[in-house]
Structure 1
């Protein structure tokens, strides 16, 4: 698996990422103050589909786990990891930076995105069990404090003419399932977020991270863009 993952990563140098347009009127929808919020239409439909196309061309690698009995969250999805500072900076400066101007953590401010970009793919039957996201030190006083997820599929998706030519292709079907669910104390449900194409979901991680999971996909394919907001 390691060799295949490195092979997928090495293709990043020739990856043709979509052109990201500046987003001028982004609005935060708080689900739990600023610890958890969504942003509608962070990616356009065209941008979302272009990211999926590029990610598929790079080639996903399956990622599993040993499961709860071995102290790991249940995990069954497909993954790509690339390091791209230019892509991270482009997405940060497209409008995400303005959403964090008033958010400080321990006196530190948000300065950008983690250049370690990940793409996740969940097909029917795949899910990610309850877990927390760790805060990561990037050196030079920089540390990640927020998870950024951008749904590349989901919501109402109209079929195109080409979709009808592939009736057995699950990627052409509307996505059902795959909700991101957050829990508070005593496993109390805090929020349930259904995937919507182009919507961003941001939540604090590290020692304040809420327990959360990605529910089972029952129809279609869920695609995600993942990075982290860096503070310094």
Structure 2
């Protein structure tokens, strides 16, 4: 029967009871006549007893990384070698994607791909690439809204304002998003996590309103019955 032990499951993202399906211990040492160093790497193929995910587990130590602890009975100092634990795949990060992002794929697949890569960059804290993604996503939305592709980003914001897609306040906030994306693309500027949250929230609100709910509202055109026409009043006969 397979041995059971506890390890951090990458899918559950927590310590779980796991079943060992295979194990290999690899002790090692090196010496050059004057110096000596040793350690061990333990490899395991394990399966979470809860979600049944199979993953690789590695535990390693070496004599260069040594702590000293007191024996619990005698008080004599003893060597302790901390272990480094690694698992693969790494624990899955919680997605930053809003639920409505999946509907973008049916409305505009290209915009969905841009947003998907933007969120992936955010998840690994690559805020330069993520900021460029925001700028690219905004550009794609303006194309979706039939704004002239030859305009600059600043001109596109003004065109959205003139056509009634956005108001003055939203135009100002979108200019900040596009300026941030341009700074990232051309000058390598990277916002911190707090600043990026503000930038992406601004763009998400814009996209949700003009693409997701805007498309949904247009789809209701054939559902809502038209307003009945009032019968024309007959002119009164002349006295």
- Interval of TM-score (by shorter of Structure 1 and Structure 2): under 0.3
TM-score after normalising by structure 2: 0.19
Structure number with higher strand proportion = 1
TM-score after normalising by structure 1: 0.19
Considering Cα pairs closer than 8 Å and 6+ residues apart, tell me whether 1 or 2 has the greater RCO.
1
Q: Which is greater in Rg? A: 2
Structure number with higher helix proportion = 2
